Structure 1
Amino acid sequence: MLGAARATGDVLVFMDAHCECHPGWLEPLLSRIAGDRSPVAPGEVVAMDRHYFQNTGAYDPLMSLQGGENLELSFKAWLCGGSIEILPCSRVGHLYPRQDTRAPLDQEATLQNKVRIAETWLGSFKETFYRHSPEAFALRKAVKPDCTERLQLQRRLGCRTFHWFLANIYPELYPSEQRPRFSGKLHNTGLGFCADCQVEGDSLGCPVRLAPCRDSREQQHLELTSRKEIHFGSSQHLCFDVQREQVILQNCTEQGPAIHQQLWDFQDNGVIVHILSGKCLEAVVQQDSKDLYLCPCDGKASQLWRFDQVHTVDER
């Protein structure tokens, strides 16, 4: 960053030390930058207009250059009016060592960078990242980063949301019919607990019941998709299903008649209707458990639900 701050040329090029350049590698980058001031290559070799780089906040000064800085730069480019291009005519070889020589401290620094990126740029999708990286979640719980300056930068630049990135830049990462309309813990308004599966190991066939709400519990993260399926946990292959009026977890059905058993309508008044039967999802208290069943819809408090997160279909 010291070199970038003191540079006087029109173009900045960042490159890992262990790179080898093919003759003529720089000219295609300079030619493209002359017509478009956005970053043109991610990762180990990146070139961009110097003024563009500085005006969009440069590299995050509170991130160590131990990995993830290219993600921050790329998200910022796409979300804040720029773009990323890869130019095949510019050839640079990145030489990897035969084995990972990074010290544990370096790996922790990389994880800290990723947590900072999640807290700054991913919005509600950061919860998906934390579900897939328990180490990052634990690090965030221990020391939550101060992202005030980068969030102010987003507002100043008028940046879009990560939801927009998934919908418009990389839709194949998250097929539209599987994107969540609602996500997070599913709270029962009447009883004050969250939907959970309290079976260790394989959750197939597990009855869904209420348990105390806990942020750290992966089994309490649900997603109601645009296909009207309720996905369970981070695996994305288990869905709410019904067996003799009781709600259980079964493999998500992609097609065929069985799929209708797994379709739910979350209505504006907070009730979740099982589309096939027309009955409502209700938490039924019996002895020491609060299991989920289908019951006639009557609007009682035990039939009222809310998710942590709401995702608009066409968020800009």
Structure 2
Amino acid sequence: MYQVHLPAVRIQSAPDLEIIVDSQDPALELGVDLAPLKSLQEDQLLVVSSTQGTKNPPQKKGSYKVLLPGSNKDIRAAAPPTHGEMGKAVRLHLEGMEKDGEISAVQKYGFNEVVSERISLHRTLPEARHPECLGEQYSESLPMASVVICFHDEAWSTLLRTVHTVLDTAPKQYLQEVLLVDDLSQHGHLKSVLSEYVSHLDGVRLIRSTRRLGVGGCRALGAARAAGEVLVFMDSHCECQKGWLEPLLERVAQDRTRVVSPIMDVIDWQTFQYNATQWPVRGVFDWRLDFYWESNPHPDSAVEPLRSPALGGGVVAIDRHFFQSVGAYDPGMLLWGEEQIELSIRVWSCGGSMEVVPCSRVAHLDHHHLPYEFPDQELIQRNKIRIADTWMDAYRKIFYRRDTLAHFIRQSESPNITERLRLKRNLGCRNFHWYLTTVYPELYIPQDRPALSGELYNVGTGSCADYPRGQELQGGAMSIRPCSGTGSQHCDLNSEFEVRWGPMGALCLDAKGQRVVLSPCPKHQPTTSTLQWRFIKLSGQLVHQQSQLCLEAVKEEGLPQSNQREVNNQTGGLFLRPCTHHPRQQWHFEQLVAPKGV
């Protein structure tokens, strides 16, 4: 069972309203300065507004009981939760059925929802802003914001904590409204009980879509019905620091084509511990079009915003009219994934800019796994294909070599990007070469020369050089694993004699003693001899220039006893050995695909 406390305060507002809004709703006929949202024309929308202040409000008890699967414990009389205050970790020592319920909740939501239930919807976080931020003065005439929170089958506690953290931290004079947009949730607690709960919150509106829209479509729907000058798109599992909104509004007010994000702190999925992200940080992506937050150890300023090649989707603030004029979210993007990268490239290329604002902090709940399965398991690749074909010009070949599934999908079908290409022409957007040289010059551009790039295949073992994804970007020991065929093991021997590894191309094949490792490649300076390799095509040998030893794939049984502990089970490793003609020193660069030109 689950207890729902309804707010006791009643403030005068709109009368009872529960309306089915169809596609003829005038609210969807946008003004001349707003782009028509054709993808929404078939929607039916259920709008629920506040019932506070009505003459005869329905008589309700002080709480609801919501039956959650796997739970039969009545906590109606439980005290208000006090766990996790000041962002501290919550560790429950449950047994038996309670432990089973905890495991089930993690499987259902992708995080420990049982822990979340024990934490107040109004919990406080420790101060993490730089002291200089606390003295910042902001204009009294900042634009007002509509905070758009889209959700699909979100847990009750995390969704309502997100709503309350906005209401508790955003100054009333700057908060136009909170728009909750339900993207066709199926969970029972998000139906009538949520409608009732929201009706008692001043300044919160609930909109329901009767078909699944996905992140971009859902946010576009919220934007179409928003009244604030600035849109703040926020995920449905966030917690805001004090003073988070004003710095974002100020930056947008100074330049209406500027799109901004707070520093995204992290809430642990298991314990809900708050972890402050170290400044400076910016958003980037690699040649597989995967997004990362990248830390920069040398900040220019503790309080000055940092230009960012991309922004994550957790929290984004953008002027409402600029959002519509630059094309909103691409309606052709499917459900979830990649919409933030597409928006980032488009904003920069079409006259806008992006930055991270360090005096604004919002914490985002990390997930152990995605809590739902997609009907189309290849939709991430399809979304990436739209980005590559719309925005990357000839550089898209680099992407397709590193995502072979996307390449094969693209060979069999073409995305319908006619409208987006027309938008690109109408807005006079710059090309991807401009983006790489002006906005994101730090991204290494692979040369991908024939026979000198691809999977590094070892003849003697029948396996490929590998480096486990998820390890630190600072590098580590290489291993030998089965060839994936996906492009994730792609490497590139360039004209500087560096063997560049991975989708970012920021790690180089290096030697630490006899062990072959990956190390960060030099930036803006000549490469060192320890990072230089010579490939002898006739023999297949890869020779380390400094030591003149050859790269050899060594299975565990071939390792000295002292080295066996360094190597994961059944992975083997890469070592430098005196050059011989042994097959374990014979290598080929296997190019998996040959993308066609523009």
TM-score, normalised to structure 1, is 0.59
Q: Which position in structure 2 is the counterpart of 1:202? A: 458
Q: Which position in structure 1 is the counterpart of 2:246? A: 27
Of 40, 43, 50 in structure 1, the residue corresponding to residue 260 of structure 2 is: 40
Q: Is residue 258 of structure 2 the alignment partner of residue 2 of structure 1?
A: no
Q: Which position in structure 1 is the counterpart of 2:416? A: 146
Q: Which position in structure 2 is the counterpart of 1:157? A: 427
Question: Once the 2 structures are TM-superposed, how far is the Cα of residue 8 of structure 1 from its aligned partner?
Answer: 3.0
- With over 3 angstroms needed to count, the CA separation of the structure-2 counterparts of 1:104 and 1:134, relative to structure 1, is farther
CA distance in 2, matches of 1:125, 1:240: 26
CA distance in 1, matches of 2:543, 2:434: 27
Q: Which position in structure 1 is the counterpart of 2:388? A: 118
Conservation of the 8 A alpha-carbon contact between 2:244 and 2:362 = yes
- With over 3 angstroms needed to count, the CA separation of the structure-2 counterparts of 1:239 and 1:87, relative to structure 1, is same
**Where does the alignment leave 5 or more consecutive residues of structure 1 unmatched?**
187-194, 205-215, 258-306, 311-316
1:102 corresponds to which letter in structure 2? Y
CA distance in 2, matches of 1:254, 1:82: 46
CA deviations over 1:176-230 (Å, ceiling 9, x no partner): xx654xx67x6xxxxxxxx799x993279xxxxxxxxxxx998xx9989675999
Secondary structure in 1 aligned to 2:433? helix
**Bigger radius of gyration:** 2
Q: Which position in structure 1 is the counterpart of 2:171? A: none
Q: Where do 1:171-210 residues align within 5 Å?
A: 171-174=441-444, 180=447, 201-202=457-458
**Where does the alignment leave 5 or more consecutive residues of structure 2 unmatched?**
1-219, 262-310, 461-484, 510-531, 549-594
Secondary structure in 2 aligned to 1:99? coil
Question: Once the 2 structures are TM-superposed, how far is the Cα of residue 153 of structure 1 from its aligned partner?
Answer: 1.5
CA distance in 2, matches of 1:142, 1:249: 34
- With over 3 angstroms needed to count, the CA separation of the structure-2 counterparts of 1:21 and 1:252, relative to structure 1, is farther
CA distance in 2, matches of 1:229, 1:308: 26
Q: Which position in structure 2 is the counterpart of 1:69? A: 339
2:259 corresponds to which letter in structure 1? P
Question: Once the 2 structures are TM-superposed, how far is the Cα of residue 110 of structure 1 from its aligned partner?
Answer: 2.5
CA distance in 2, matches of 1:165, 1:93: 29
Question: Once the 2 structures are TM-superposed, how far is the Cα of residue 99 of structure 1 from its aligned partner?
Answer: 3.1
Conservation of the 8 A alpha-carbon contact between 1:222 and 1:232 = yes
Q: Which position in structure 2 is the counterpart of 1:51? A: 321
CA deviations over 1:132-180 (Å, ceiling 9, x no partner): 1122222222332111111121122222222222222222221xxx654
Question: Once the 2 structures are TM-superposed, how far is the Cα of residue 249 of structure 1 from its aligned partner?
Answer: 5.6
CA distance in 1, matches of 2:336, 2:222: 17
Secondary structure in 2 aligned to 1:91? strand
1:60 corresponds to which letter in structure 2? D
Q: How many residues align?
A: 231
Of 362, 366, 370 in structure 2, the residue corresponding to residue 92 of structure 1 is: 362
Conservation of the 8 A alpha-carbon contact between 1:179 and 1:226 = no
CA distance in 1, matches of 2:391, 2:354: 17
Equivalent pairs: percent with the same residue? Answer: 47
Secondary structure in 1 aligned to 2:355? coil
CA distance in 2, matches of 1:40, 1:110: 25
CA deviations over 1:241-276 (Å, ceiling 9, x no partner): 567xx6x7654878899xxxxxxxxxxxxxxxxxxx
- With over 3 angstroms needed to count, the CA separation of the structure-2 counterparts of 1:201 and 1:19, relative to structure 1, is same
Conservation of the 8 A alpha-carbon contact between 2:404 and 2:486 = no
Structure number with higher relative contact order (C-alpha < 8 Å, ≥ 6 residues apart): 1
Conservation of the 8 A alpha-carbon contact between 1:11 and 1:50 = yes
Of 429, 433, 439 in structure 2, the residue corresponding to residue 169 of structure 1 is: 439
Conservation of the 8 A alpha-carbon contact between 2:233 and 2:315 = yes
